[in-house]
Each structure stands twice: as structure tokens, then as C-alpha cells.
Structure 1
Amino acid sequence: MKVSDKKSVNDNEPIGSELHALIKENIREYAMYIALVFIFIYFNVLTNGLFLSSRNISDLINQTGYIAVLAVGMTLILIIKHIDLSVGYVAGFLGAVAAIFLKNGWNVWLVIPLTLFFGVCVGLYQGFLVARIGVPAFVTTLAGMFIFRGFLSRVTAGTGTIIVRDEVFRAISNGFLPDLPFGGNLHVLTLLIGILAVILVIISQIRQRNSMLKYNFKVMSLPIFISKILFMSVIILLVVWILAGYRGIPWTAVIVGVVLFIYNFMLHKTRLGRYIYGIGGNSEAAELSGVNVKNVTMFAFASVSMLAALSGILYTSRLSSATPTAGLGFELDAIASSYIGGVSVNGGIGRVTNTIVGALVIMSLTNGMNLMGVDVSYQYVVRGAIFILAVAFDVKTRGKRR
């Protein structure tokens, strides 16, 4: 595939000046990635290489999975300028419901879609109250938090903890992709997937650049574009090399990847995605242009509750049990991940890919501080400080661009 550089407005611009302009224009997004790299290096140095060990990175992915999928759903809600405070206990309750079904002998392939369906029903109920009845989302979902916390306490009241023994269900958050028969000390399938991912990234970046040039949009100069592709390729290969040194790619990463692909495609390639951003930017203007704001709002709430159900499945699978405290604080981590990932406090702006990075920032801090033995009280202080700094930085940078 040929990389075209015709019509690039940056062709005659010095590379140093172009880099400065790129950083200035994308400071919010670049700062997030720089922060993640800094966190990785910082904790790896302080833990003598333990943080970036193959096993810990696999554990980090599994720990991040249930927050990442929840944060993707929360991103949609925040873009349309609403909020859902109930998702934590919806996840905990529906995870417990799945555990009860499995304990009673239900087939796991029936339990999973049924639990997701229950999540959709919860979201439609809350979305109906917000979109059709006019109850503020804060009030509706705060009430939902109390309701589903009560339901979770009720279903776990008998035993306190519901043990899950189904091996397929437990493998969702504890299993890994199987290796090829000739795999040795390294997980060969993981390496092959990494190489394929690099090829797909190169192809997609070239197509995107050529498409922008075709319509005379501003693009990076060819040297910086090639440097960007090389950097992305190195990062991908480094991650898969680390994972290949243990047991390969966790199933959690596959699930998060599928969710990310679906929602990224929906937001950026479909009419529904344009409606969501339009409502977040100006709901009155969107409605006047023919967008059914109420239906889109109900979809967003159904979506986040369905992903809350998936989050509950991942969390219950990871613990191999459902507990009365499941879901505690999930909604706060999801909201923080979304805002750290660049969702605007004013709505209308946000990317699910960046939200995943935000979730990694939150969970990397937790993982690193746990490895260092930092007291949990200080962990909450650090996470809160990072959250408020991210939002303050967002407000200042977006204000300057306006």
C-alpha cells in the first residue's frame, strides 16, 4: 500500500515546528499517554522490574477488564451530559445473579446472555425515567444505587459468598488464549497476533492518511507519520512480548478488545454515534434537526447497564465468587477513567479508546501501589489527586483552545 504525501500542508514546515504544533493541539490526549508511560516506568523502577514482569502485566489486564468495559459505557452517558451512579451495584447484583444461576446448574452459555439481557432491562427502566418521565439522571441512578445494593445484600444474605465452580465461567477472567501445538517457552500465538496487529495498524494508518489527503485535510509530514507508526509498532510488540513470556493473551483482553471495537465503530462510523455527540454538544439543536433525543438517551442507559452486567460477570469470574461488597466503588473508577481519558465535563467530547487508557492509568496506580505495599488510605488520596488534576487540566486546555 502506497503512502501518499501529496498536498500535505506540513511538507514545507520544519519538523521541530510541526512537532511543537502537534503537541500543542493534542496536549490533552498526549499528556494522558505520557502519564501512563511515566507510571509504568516509575513503578517498574521502584519494584525492581516486578511491575513490568509478564505475570504482573497479565494480572493488571485482568484487574482492569471489569472497570474498562464499565468505563466504555459510562463514556456514552457522560458524552450526552448525564451520569449513572448505579452501575457499580448493578454490576455486583447481576454478577451475583449469574453466580446463583450457575450454582443451580444452569448452563453457562445461557447464563451469560441472560445476565446481559437483565442489564439491558435495568438500563431501559432507568433510561425511561430520565428520558420519558423527566427525572434527573443523578436522582434516578442514585436511587438505583440504593435499590441494587439492597438486592445484592438480599441475594447474598444466606451464605454471604456465592462460590462459582463452573470452569468455563471462571476462565473468562482467569484464562488465556491457548497456544499453538508447537509453542515453547514463549506463547507463539500471542506473538503472531502481535505481528498481525502491527500490520493492521500500519494499513489503517496509511488508509486514514491517504483519505485525509484526498479531501485536503491537514496531515502529519511523512517523516513524523513514519515515526508515529514505528513508535506504535514498538509498543504493541513490546506488550505482546511481555505477555508471551507468561501464558499469553488473557481472555479478558479479548473481551475488552471486542467491546472497544464495537463501541469505537458505533461512535465514529454510524449515524447513532453522530447523534450521541450531537446531543452532547447541544441537545436542543440535535432535537430540532430531527434526532430522537429520548430514544438515544434510553439507548445510552441500556448500553451502560448491559456493560455493567458484563463487568459483573468479569468480576465474579475473577473472584470465582459473588460477595456482598461486589460493585463497591466501581462507578467512581468508571467515571474517573472516562474523565482521565479525555471526556469533557461539558459533554459532547470523548473517545472510548482513550477511556481504556484512563482505566489503565487508574488500575496501574492501584497495582503499583499494592506491589509497593502502600496503605490503602494513601491509595485513595493519590487516585483522587490524579482525578482532580486530570479534570482541571482538561478544563484549562479546552478553555484555551476555545
Structure 2
Amino acid sequence: MSDTTVTSSSIRNLIKANIRNYSMVLMLALIMIIFSFLTDGVNLNSRNFTNIFMQNSYILLLAVGMVLVIIVGNIDLSVGSVAAFIGAISAMLYNSGANMFVTILLSIILGVLIGAFQGAWIAYAKIPAFIVTLAAQLLFRGLTYIITNVSPISLRDDNFKQIASGMANINVLTINGVYYTALVAGVVVFLIYVVLEIQGRRNKIKYGFKVSPMSFFIIKLLVIGLLIFGLSQRFATYRGIPIVVIVLGVTIIFFSFITNNTVIGRYIYAVGGNARSAKLSGINSELVVFVVQLIMGGLTGLAGVVFTGYMNSALPQAGNNFELDAIAACFIGGASASGGIGTVIGAIVGGLVMAAINNGMSLMNIQAQWQYVVKALVLLLAVFYDIYTRRKTGLG
């Protein structure tokens, strides 16, 4: 009887501790199901799934960097303007004769340099991130207007847009219009995920941390596996794997590994949890904040290239509200406004929640102004949910 009570109590505590991590996944599934009825299933077809990722890839890339910024307790309001600026520079580089690889590499390097510029002010000059990034938002918006002369920059050919809307050359295993390469890729991604999860579980057990019961762990792997295979099946039955999905997947896996399995990842959470305590523990808090801004800058550069490719031109007004969409994705995905809490996967799920809502309302021909209203309410409720659950679980 006593053992049963302890087990029940442990399960309840486990559910409370993880409800914030998985509730948005359930919410995303619920949103897709609701819109499937409202759109007669159009939102679930393979073409629409591919379009969702293509149309929101740059926001998801920004969300990966933004969640790290939020975890350390900061915010970045400049990413939209910086993405527009780097997008314009990338178009100029490409039009001058640079190949695609060089253009992307130089754009990312430029983003890192911009991140270093902002990081120096934030980390070492001790100016609040809100002020620094607000100033940078105005600065790089103005510079974008100057270098573009407030006119779009057309690209010399259509090769540039392949990164945003092209299909990967690995789509070679095709039979009767089904791209089986996508299914194979889904299996590979799932196996990588399983290996990382098992390794993470073993490390937690090794260092004495609490882990979920094996049955819960297996159920979690099966659910994630179903999601991965479902998505790969959608790609397989349309045009195969988009290039931007591969770019996004590599980015997610890389930064998930960094946050979960490296020293710098632990330092990021420590600084966000309590910067003063982290400093007293020997962590160079300033360097951690600086590195996070470098990462944010690099991902902003990549996002700028992707958006320029998606539009097939560099627009002077590009990037409007990108920072708000990225921030919203992080908070909806479980990041805490007070710092110290958040995950890369959570930010991606949050971004997909917003993307699914936008896509569903667009398919229903709902006017743009009402879409803004719905997005605002979703963000407000997500932050309220964060505060509420932190109080209930004793974290706030």
C-alpha cells in the first residue's frame, strides 16, 4: 500500500514537472485536428505541410537563437532589421558573382560580427539588452534603407531561392511518385533521437538525477517517433525533402545537443537561472551572454539569406515583426519570461503552433487583422500559462 502511494505520488510529480514541456505538443496536435475539420482536411495534405515549413523556416531559425537569448534572461528586438540588412548584403554579394556557398558563409559571419557588436554592449558595457537591441533595430533598419535605396534588389538568377523553396538532391529513391528518401531520413532522425535520449537518460541516472519510469520513457519515444514518421510521410508523398527542412533539422539537432550535453549549455541555464550565483560559482557570465549573442547573430544571418531566397529578392521592408514572431514562438513553447527555462525543441513547437494557426486561418480566408488578434491572444495566454504553472509547481 505504501509503495503504491509512493508510486502514485511520483507519477503525479512527474506529470506536474513535465506538463509544461508536452502541453504545447498536444496543443499543436489539437490545433491541426480542429483546422482539419474547418478546412475539410486541406491543412493536413502533403503540399500544405511542406508549405508550412517553407513559409515559416526563417522564423523557426530565429526562434532557435532567440530561446537561448531568453534563457539567459535577455531579449533581442533587432533580429528582424538585422535579417533584412544581411539579406540585402547577401543579394549584393550573389549579384556580384559570389557562389551560393560563399554568400551563405559570409552572411553568417556578418551576423556573428553584428552579434559580437551587440554582445559587447550587453555583456561588458552592462547596457540592458532591451535598449541595445532596440537601438540596433533602428540602426540596421536605417542601414537597410540606405544600401537598398528603399528599392528591392532583384537576384541574378533563380538559384538563390533554392535554399528556401528547393528540394534536396538526396530525393533519389522515388517510386510511383513517392519519395522514399524522406521515409529513410525519418528513420535516421528517429534513431539519432533515440540514441541521444538514451544517452541523456543514462547520464541523469549516473549523476543521481530523477528520471521518468521506463514505461513513460518508451511511450515518449513512440509518440515522438509517430510524429517524425508522420512528417516524413507527408514529405514523401509531395516533392520530397525541402533543402530548408534539412538546414532547419541540422540546426535544431546541433543546438539541442549543445544545450543538453555540453558545458556551455549548462552555463547558459545557470546564468539564466541566477546570474549572480553563476558568477560566484566561477562561471564567466559575461562571456556566456556574449557567446549567446554571437549565436543569435549567426542564426539571424542564416535566416536573412533564407528569407531573401524565399522572396527571390532582397526587400528593404523585410523582417518586419520577425522578432515578435520569434519571441512569441519561444514563450508559447515553454520559455520563461524570467529566464533560466526553455528548450530548442519547445521553441520550434511554439513556432509551429503559430504557423499552424496562421495557416489554418489563411485557408479559411480569415482577414489578416483578425489573425493578429488571435496571435496576440495566444501569446498572452501562453505567458499566463507559464506563470500559472510555475506557481503550481513551486518554481515561481
TM-score, reference length from structure 2: 0.93
Structure 2 contact 332–382 (Cα < 8 Å) conserved: yes
| Aligned equivalents of 1:380, 1:32: Cα separation in 2 | 20
- 1:46 alignment counterpart: 38
* Residues 225-274 of structure 1, C-alpha deviations (whole Å, 9 max, x = no match): 33333222222211111111101111111111111122112112111111
- 1:378 alignment counterpart: 370
Structure 1 contact 164–170 (Cα < 8 Å) conserved: no
Matched, 1:276 2:268: yes
Structure 1 contact 243–249 (Cα < 8 Å) conserved: yes
The within-5 A match list for 1:234-383 is 234-383=226-375
Shift of 1:25: 2.5
Structure 1 contact 79–350 (Cα < 8 Å) conserved: yes
Shift of 1:90: 0.1
| Aligned equivalents of 1:71, 1:29: Cα separation in 2 | 16
Shift of 1:219: 3.7
| Aligned equivalents of 2:294, 2:211: Cα separation in 1 | 37
Matched, 1:162 2:153: yes
* Residues 108-160 of structure 1, C-alpha deviations (whole Å, 9 max, x = no match): 222111111111111111111122222221111111111111111122226x2
- 1:117 alignment counterpart: 109
Shift of 1:216: 5.6
Shift of 1:396: 0.9
| Aligned equivalents of 1:194, 1:378: Cα separation in 2 | 36
| Aligned equivalents of 2:74, 2:213: Cα separation in 1 | 39
| Aligned equivalents of 1:200, 1:85: Cα separation in 2 | 34
| 2:152 partner amino acid | T
Structure 1 pair 333–246 and aligned structure 2 pair: CA distance change class (3 A): same
| Aligned equivalents of 1:348, 1:284: Cα separation in 2 | 13
Structure 1 pair 123–187 and aligned structure 2 pair: CA distance change class (3 A): same
| Aligned equivalents of 1:213, 1:268: Cα separation in 2 | 15
Shift of 1:39: 1.0
| Aligned equivalents of 1:173, 1:195: Cα separation in 2 | 24
| Aligned equivalents of 1:43, 1:67: Cα separation in 2 | 22
- 1:152 alignment counterpart: 144
- 1:191 alignment counterpart: 183
- 1:175 alignment counterpart: 166
| Aligned equivalents of 1:213, 1:274: Cα separation in 2 | 17
| Aligned equivalents of 2:333, 2:381: Cα separation in 1 | 12
- Partner of residue 76 from structure 2, selected from 80, 84, 87: 84
% of aligned pairs identical? 39
- 1:397 alignment counterpart: 389
Structure 1 pair 166–15 and aligned structure 2 pair: CA distance change class (3 A): farther
User: What is the aligned residue count?
Assistant: 392
| 1:28 partner amino acid | R
| Aligned equivalents of 1:278, 1:210: Cα separation in 2 | 22
Shift of 1:16: 8.1
- 2:219 alignment counterpart: 227
Shift of 1:181: 5.1
| 2:45 partner amino acid | S
Q: Which runs of 5+ in 1 are unaligned?
A: 1-10
Structure 2 contact 85–143 (Cα < 8 Å) conserved: yes
Structure 1 pair 199–121 and aligned structure 2 pair: CA distance change class (3 A): closer
| 1:103 partner amino acid | N
Shift of 1:351: 0.7
| Aligned equivalents of 1:240, 1:314: Cα separation in 2 | 22
| Aligned equivalents of 2:225, 2:111: Cα separation in 1 | 37
| Aligned equivalents of 2:279, 2:198: Cα separation in 1 | 37
Structure 2 contact 76–130 (Cα < 8 Å) conserved: yes
- 2:97 alignment counterpart: 105
Matched, 1:94 2:86: yes
SS in 2 for 1:327: coil
Structure 1 pair 135–368 and aligned structure 2 pair: CA distance change class (3 A): same
| 1:334 partner amino acid | A
| Aligned equivalents of 1:18, 1:166: Cα separation in 2 | 60
- 1:75 alignment counterpart: 67
TM-score, reference length from structure 1: 0.91
Shift of 1:14: 10
The within-5 A match list for 1:132-151 is 132-151=124-143
Structure 2 contact 100–160 (Cα < 8 Å) conserved: yes
Over the residues paired in the alignment, what is the CA RMSD in angstroms? 2.2
Structure 1 contact 124–301 (Cα < 8 Å) conserved: yes
| Aligned equivalents of 2:43, 2:8: Cα separation in 1 | 34
Structure 1 pair 186–20 and aligned structure 2 pair: CA distance change class (3 A): farther
Shift of 1:375: 0.6
- 2:21 alignment counterpart: 29
